[in-house]
Structure 1
């Protein structure tokens, strides 16, 4: 991608994502993703209805009348975007390819995090961790992340979600909120890694898929190419048996993915490239409140 084209695309995503995060997501995001706990703020005189457990006995003894401690939420979070950059994300049959939708979703989440004064970092992964951007704050950092999302070229084309989850578990020492954004087309089982990662961190999964991937249209002989293995083959889409086998494969894979999320207590949402991801993200935020 040429520099001028990249900058134009960055600007477009910045305007859209910033508007969404300011006007729609800011309050929902704040409610859905809590801080690490409560910090002591100040003391004041006891009022009827205050919790007796909050009484500050040292100040009470000093002034001979009861005082209570006041706390406020420790709001700052560390947010990690764990982004799939494998070959299958380059597919798209509708308005946009999966990778472009991943970029918009990631940018919107990043701006929402910054609006709430959270740190934001990124892990790009294929079948290995391709790049790690440590969490920081600030607009300059956000724009750098968006540029990387749009222009990053992975060395490998395969997918191994477990590799990314193990890296997240080991690299980020304190508890964070991690958005795992992928199409979840992974030949390997990632349930155990997901369960372990979600014990330490708060994992939220966002599946991006294309409707054409869910079933085959009867258009006759079709040459298909696996974007990750580069393997090519001919299939007869006019065959009811072939279409049913493909549909069964897709449904089985979706069930396995949903079971992995449920068994690991991971909140998730699935978004098609021809759908409005704003509505889906809002639903995800609301179910966590």
Structure 2
């Protein structure tokens, strides 16, 4: 593990206090983009698959069905002719539109490892932009930071992605909870042609976001980026621990006994399992990024695995 991604976010965290004169620091954002360019650029060599890393809409060649293939892409005439199941591959569109739903609620102002969850969400935005804006593709976003979602119009190319990243980085922080259901549903309106929809959140929100997420997955290729911190999964053995809810300001003191830590870990595991199940039901690709792991390597592995699944291990 190189730790390069963590180091970049560590610098971003130090600049987050406002000492740097460019919002959250144009210098830090440029370094983050340079790091992503150097690490991820090689992943897009060869045939360009358009969506990240899903299919396009133009019909391509037929090939034999493999476990895990989307049954909606079955090629029934070829299947009947050969008596073996076949699916129809697709050629990527050359001008695609990607929309991000970025949850910047107060619960992301938390991090006990090398960075804040907010910084990690911003890094995910930068990576998604890098992986989708080639060939004239456009990228836009809706950002939730405790109030009504703010829409950033879709713009083409690298410059458009840079503008989008800076606007998300400079979004004001508010000590309030984002309505995740409304944030996701804002990507359903107005209806758009098929593209890529990416939801970036810690998904620590009340019930209700699952239905708009399923609706989003019907029309678009859907990717969910889950942001986590290790302390959300288990408590340390530190005696009395003071906990502050960043969205309400409520303060609680707890004694981190062995039984409490065990119950907490069980409840956290159940909660995360429920989130994962909801994402599967929505048909979303699920990428989990943690503040204590190298997010660049996690993204590389995720994209490589998705491509391998889509192409059956071929180089396409």
TM-score normalized by the length of structure 1? 0.81
> Pairwise mapping of residues 51-62 of structure 1 onto structure 2 (< 5 A)?
none
1:38–1:72 Cα contact (<8 Å) kept: yes
Q: 1:35 matched to which residue of 2?
A: 56
Which of 253, 256, 260 is matched with 2:278 structurally?
A: 260
Could you list the runs of 5+ residues in structure 2 that have no partner in the other structure?
1-17, 61-76, 78-89, 311-316
- By how many angstroms is 1:232 displaced? 0.6
- By how many angstroms is 1:84 displaced? 0.8
- The question of 1:94 aligning with 2:113 is answered yes
- By how many angstroms is 1:130 displaced? 2.9
Q: 2:68 matched to which residue of 1?
A: none
Structure exhibiting the larger radius of gyration computed from Cα positions: 1
Q: 1:12 matched to which residue of 2?
A: 31
2:175–2:246 Cα contact (<8 Å) kept: no
Cα distance change of structure 1 residues 180 and 242 upon mapping to structure 2, 3 Å threshold: same
Q: 1:222 matched to which residue of 2?
A: 241
2:126–2:165 Cα contact (<8 Å) kept: yes
Which of 230, 233, 245 is matched with 1:211 structurally?
A: 230
Cα distance change of structure 1 residues 98 and 28 upon mapping to structure 2, 3 Å threshold: farther
Q: Distance in 2 between matches of 1:25 and 1:19?
A: 12
Q: 2:301 matched to which residue of 1?
A: 283
1:169–1:201 Cα contact (<8 Å) kept: no
Could you list the runs of 5+ residues in structure 1 that have no partner in the other structure?
40-52, 54-70
Q: 1:66 matched to which residue of 2?
A: none
Cα distance change of structure 1 residues 231 and 138 upon mapping to structure 2, 3 Å threshold: same
2:59–2:91 Cα contact (<8 Å) kept: yes
1:182–1:206 Cα contact (<8 Å) kept: yes
Q: Secondary structure at the match of 1:170?
A: coil
- By how many angstroms is 1:273 displaced? 1.1
- By how many angstroms is 1:134 displaced? 1.4
Q: Distance in 2 between matches of 1:205 and 1:29?
A: 22
Q: 1:183 matched to which residue of 2?
A: 202
- By how many angstroms is 1:235 displaced? 0.6
TM-score normalized by the length of structure 2? 0.74
- The question of 1:240 aligning with 2:271 is answered no
The root-mean-square deviation of aligned C-alpha atoms, in Å, is 2.4
Between 83-92 and 141-150, report the one with greater CA deviation. Answer: 141-150
